[in-house]
Amino acid sequence: MKNHQSSIINHKSLTIGWLYPELMNIYGDRGNIITLIKRTEWRGIKAEVKNLSPGFSDKLLATCDLLIMGGAQDKQQEIVNDDLKLHHKTLSEMIDKGIPGLYVCGGFQFMGNYYKEADGTIIDGLGIFDMNTQSPGPDEPRLVGNIAVRPSFNFNHKSSVIVGFENHGGRTILGANVKPLGTVLKGHGNNDDGTEGAIYKNSFGTYLHGPILPKNPHFADYLIKLALKVNELPELDDTLEWHAHNAIAKRLQIEI
C-alpha cells in the first residue's frame, strides 16, 4: 500500500498539460500521465490534467505546470504537426522559462529543427531542441528493444539508471545547444552513437516507451519536483515500481 502521508507542500497543486492525448498516445504512453497523477495525489497534492487536443488555446496551455507528449504513427503526426506550429511561440516561451516537460518518440522529434524523410523531404519541426532526425530508409532496421541509460543529470537517488523500451526508425543527431538525456548502457538510443534523448532547460526528450515513468519512479518524482519547484518530496512505498525497474535492468545485465 502506498504511503498517503500529507506534507508541507500539500497546499500546492499540479496542472499537467497532456499534448494531443487522442493522437499522440502509442505504446502505452498514457501510463506516464497516470504515474504523475498518482504519485502527486499519494502525497496529498491535488493533480489536474488539461487535455490539449487540436484547437486548444494558448491561454489554456499557459496554465500548465508540466507538459507531457507521447508518440504516434505518421498519419496522426501529420495532424499534430500542423496544429502544434500554431502554438510555437507560447510553447517556446514556456520551455525557455523552465516549465518542465517530457516528450516521447514522435513528441521528441517534433521539438527538433526538422525530420528528413527517406526520399529527402524535409518536415520542419519547432526548433526548440537543437537536433535533427532523419529516416535511414526501408532497408535499415528499426531500433527496437529494451534499453538502459545512465542519465546526464543527478536524481539524488540510489539508482542512477533509467530503463525502458525503444521502437523507432528515425535517427536523431544532437546539436551543440542540447545535451543527451543520458549515455546508453544497453540498447540503441538516438542513433547508435551512445546517446539517448535530449535535455533543454527543464524539458526532456526520449525514445523510451514502456511507458518510461511507471518503471522509473525517480524520474517521475524529478519531473514533479521541477514542476512544483521543491527540492524534496515525501517518500512513497515504491516496492512494485522498483521490481519492474530492476527486472529490466537484470535482463540487460545492468547494475543499478
What's the pLDDT tens digit per position in 110-131? 999 999 998 999 989 999 999 9
Enumerate the active-site residues: 105, 209
The predicted pLDDT at position 200 comes to 97
Q: Which residues of the chain have pLDDT under 50?
A: 1, 4-8
* Other Cβ atoms within 10 Å of 63 Cβ, number: 11
Find the angle CA(34)-CA(94)-CA(11) to the nearest 5 degrees.
55
The predicted pLDDT at position 210 comes to 82
The predicted pLDDT at position 2 comes to 56
- Residue 189's Cβ-side half-sphere holds a number of Cα atoms within 13 Å equal to 21
> Which three cell numbers, joined as nine digits, stand for 202?
527543464
- CATH assignment at residue 21: 3.40.50.880
0.85 cut: is pTM over it?
yes
DSSP letter assigned to residue 190? T
State how beta strands 143-151 and 162-168 pair. Answer: antiparallel
The predicted pLDDT at position 9 comes to 55
Domain hosting 62: range is 13-251
Residue 195 within any structural domain of the chain: yes
Q: Quick check: 212 and 33 in contact, CB under 8 A?
A: no
The predicted pLDDT at position 11 comes to 53
Residue 256 within any structural domain of the chain: no
Residue 200 within any structural domain of the chain: yes
Residue 6 within any structural domain of the chain: no
Residue 3 within any structural domain of the chain: no
Total domains, the chain: 1
